Structure 1
Amino acid sequence: MKNKPVYAIASVDHALHLAQLLQQEGALSVSEAAELVGVARSTAHRLLAMLVYRDLATQGDDRRYFPGPVLGPASAAPSMRLRKAALPHMHALVARVNETVSLQVRVGVDVRFLESVECDRMLRVGDRSGKVLPAHCVAGGKVLLAFLSHDELNELYGEVELDIERLRKHLALARRHGFAVNDQETEAGVTAVGVAVLGQDGCPLGALSLAVPSARFDRQSLSTYTAVLQGACAAVSRDLAAP
């Protein structure tokens, strides 16, 4: 896991975050960009103008901004709608268990963290919004990979150096139990549990994960963690299915 640089340049970070959001969402208005990044509308407008100048964004006739030729096409996942549906349930989940919760989507062999809601404990897992990690190591990534067929998994990891049979065993467990665990596979001292958010067709749209400092993680609490995650994911699915 990469840590934020000690001497981070806020304007550069905001611009790169906006570029990530454009790639994930497909289109953003100035007000949406300002809200997501946490800056004033005027600042968001200037950042987007610079992205357009560098071909990282383009502006449509409706004045919304889209990913530019440098970024390539946006993710197929309806990320904005998924985020809006998930956020209230993520806040409720954090209030209930007082641990950090993240929303993730799979993009190829990686997982993108669309949103995080931190708990208020002194020792906690921090905000992972915007991070990209290998799907086979992340709790949410594993549970999303578990929906792939044998051939789809082979095609996805055909050119990746990976113990595919070991991964298959992990994914079989995730299918059987309805959740997956990341026990310090992406970062020492962090353990996470992930559950998929399903669409009306039963296909995964994303995953919610609950991340706990390993020193506090209790295997006896695993059933509680999975139960509250499954409840939250089901609630997100219901909200997405509503008109």
Structure 2
Amino acid sequence: MDKPLKTPPPYPIASVDHALRAATILQLEGSASVSQIAERLGVARSTAHRILAMLVYRDFAVQGEDRDYRAGPVLELASHSQSQVSRLRAAALPHLHRIVDLLDETANLTVRTGDTVRFIASVECGQALRVGSREGMVFPAHRTTAGLLLLAELSDTELDEVYAAERYGERAADRPDLDRLRAELGRLRSNGFAVNRGRSERGLAAVGVPVRDRDGTALAGLSVSLPSVRYDPHRLRSLVATLEAAARALERDFAEEGS
């Protein structure tokens, strides 16, 4: 039975969450100062310093001669400043902020690797009831808005390779029904956008569109996430139009930055 996977813990530990988010920032962005980490986490500079000191102790971070912190050896997938993911994230942030300004809902940028997706950027809205930052989080691709959009780009043969039964072994229950998935992806190709209501997390709705490179290949998914109680199907056309405008602007900026 297909069921939502991610459920926030009933008793979240703020210090652990702060440390994990700090590590994610270093992994995705390459480096950051104490002040930058403090601002991003919304904590005092002294608190940010203690968090970073513990990350250094556990080899999740290292401190350079310039006093900035960078991803340590434990974070093997740390992005270098000129990597495509890092450049894409940097180009996307102003557009994510613009989406939040226009819609007052949380905006995200997501990339796919195999059968999973990773949120590489997330900007929260200011509403009291809101979807929190998903930056750095990993989800099964077929359970997320952006993941479905990116899977829709694959041929039947490529989809079979991504979800080959032998890849799952004891995790066979995690493998989606490919006939149902193909039918859904076919509808998404026609629509050009995706809607997710409670599929990845209970009480959450999301709408997304693809972000493409110069040759038309989908690089990422751009989405807005909101509490299900605030999702209104009558707003769908407006949400999609806002996201598509942001995606086209991001595509132009990313192409210019890489030229």
- Please, what TM-score do these two structures have when normalized by structure 2? 0.77
Amino acid at match of 2:231: F
Q: How many Å apart are 1:155 and its aligned residue? A: 1.9
Aligned partner of 1:81 among 84, 87, 91: 87
Structure with the bigger percentage of helix: 2
Q: Where does residue 229 of structure 1 map in the other structure?
A: 243
Q: Secondary structure at the match of 1:79?
A: helix
Q: Where does residue 94 of structure 1 map in the other structure?
A: 100
Q: How many Å apart are 1:181 and its aligned residue? A: 1.4
Q: How many Å apart are 1:193 and its aligned residue? A: 0.8
How many Å separate the matches in 2 of 1:75 and 1:175? 31
Asked whether the 8 Å contact 1:30–1:44 carries over to 2, the reply is: no
After TM superposition, the structure 1 stretch with the greater mean CA deviation from structure 2, 134-143 or 14-23, is 14-23
After TM superposition, the structure 1 stretch with the greater mean CA deviation from structure 2, 119-128 or 219-228, is 119-128
How many Å separate the matches in 1 of 2:126 and 2:14? 26
- Please, what TM-score do these two structures have when normalized by structure 1? 0.81
Asked whether the 8 Å contact 1:30–1:45 carries over to 2, the reply is: no
Aligned counterparts, 1:95-174, within 5 A: 95-158=101-164, 159-160=167-168, 161-174=175-188
Aligned residues: 241
How many Å separate the matches in 2 of 1:201 and 1:34? 39
Amino acid at match of 2:13: A
After TM superposition, the structure 1 stretch with the greater mean CA deviation from structure 2, 231-240 or 143-152, is 143-152
Structure 2 alignment gaps of length 5 or more: 1-5, 169-174
Structure 1 alignment gaps of length 5 or more: none
Q: Secondary structure at the match of 1:130?
A: coil
Q: Secondary structure at the match of 1:208?
A: strand
Please list the CA deviations of residues 75-132 of structure 1 after superposition, one character each: whole Å capped at 9, or x if unmatched.
6963333233222222222222332222222233222223333334444333333332
Q: Where does residue 58 of structure 2 map in the other structure?
A: 54
Q: Where does residue 215 of structure 1 map in the other structure?
A: 229
How many Å separate the matches in 1 of 2:119 and 2:134? 6
After TM superposition, the structure 1 stretch with the greater mean CA deviation from structure 2, 67-76 or 169-178, is 67-76
Please list the CA deviations of residues 138-164 of structure 1 after superposition, one character each: whole Å capped at 9, or x if unmatched.
101111122223232222221242212
Please list the CA deviations of residues 149-207 of structure 1 after superposition, one character each: whole Å capped at 9, or x if unmatched.
32322222212422122112222222222111112111232221111111223222322
